[in-house]
Amino acid sequence: MDVTVAPLSTAPDDRPRSPRLPFVDDAHYGSHKEIARGGMGKIVAAEDRRLGRPVALKSLLEPAGDALGRFEREALITARLQHPGIVPVYEAGRWPSGEPFFAMKHVSGKPLDRVIAEARTLAERLALLPRIAAAADAIAYAHSQRIVHRDLKPGNILIGEFGETVVIDWGLAKDLDAGDSPESERPRERATVRAINSIDPDAASVSARKTIDRSTLTVVGAVMGTPAYMAPEQARGEPVDERADVFALGAMLYHLLAGVPPYNARTATEV
């Protein structure tokens, strides 16, 4: 019997490498509509055709280098956190082209910073105190799992259409037990990373764009986070733990009571 063996391709495989994420048929998801975009990634509203439910798909704009590792870490960390106050991840994988993505629940609503801005009186802002308490409960759970968010701010607290309060955007989250590589914590070049929120395109599409513009994150050396809510040790580029999140919760509480953030700064140096 004659057997024909196809020659092995010698062409380099330049697809993004993410060995912990399996390949997924992109036909599983349809009706993609971009709802948010930042300096490193984007979120699109889509339909999971297998289960017939809406989802939000997050992917990288340029899946290369350290960004790929951070994105994979975000997907795996968020998938581990099972709490009503944290948006659940349904699936994480790679498209046939190799680009990584993860699918999460599509939460419609408004970010807390917008809700605070719409509150005209102290009494209206005080009525939002349960939102801070709910966010603190979700963060306490994350801490019990040894996860630190590292970018808590009102723009990353979403008030859902059913009254739920959820903490979103775990892109800078850190697993205290896993450690972080010097490459992921200390990018060689100055970069800006914008928060990307899973917000309903019809209910809050304009707000989403405004939130992204306001939430520019400065990354210089090991300084990662949003300056106005950043703990001093985080601003100095020192290692952080759960206390950095506690400080950020206090800063959000100040913002809620005073109507303005505790710091008017755009960089960690100014803080």
Q: Distance between CA 143 and CA 85 in Å, rounded? A: 13
Please give the sequence-ordered ranges of beta strands (E in DSSP) within the chain, or none if there are none: 29-37, 41-48, 53-60, 89-94, 100-105, 109-111, 147-148, 157-160, 165-167, 174-175, 191-194, 216-219
Written as six digits, the tokens of 214 are 């306001």
List, in sequence order, every residue forming a beta bridge with 56; answer none if it has no partner: 45, 104
Give 119-124 contacts, CB < 8 A, sequence gap 24+: 119/259, 122/257, 122/259
Cβ atoms of residues 176 and 148 within 8 Å: yes
Amino acid at site 263: Y
Phi and psi of 46, rounded to 5°? -150, 175
Cβ atoms of residues 153 and 225 within 8 Å: no
Neighbours of 228 (CB within 10 A): 22
Phi and psi of 71, rounded to 5°? -65, -45
Point out the catalytic residue in the list 113, 151, 169, 200: 151
Residue 13 a catalytic site member: no
Cβ atoms of residues 234 and 160 within 8 Å: no
Residue positions annotated with a catalytic role:
151
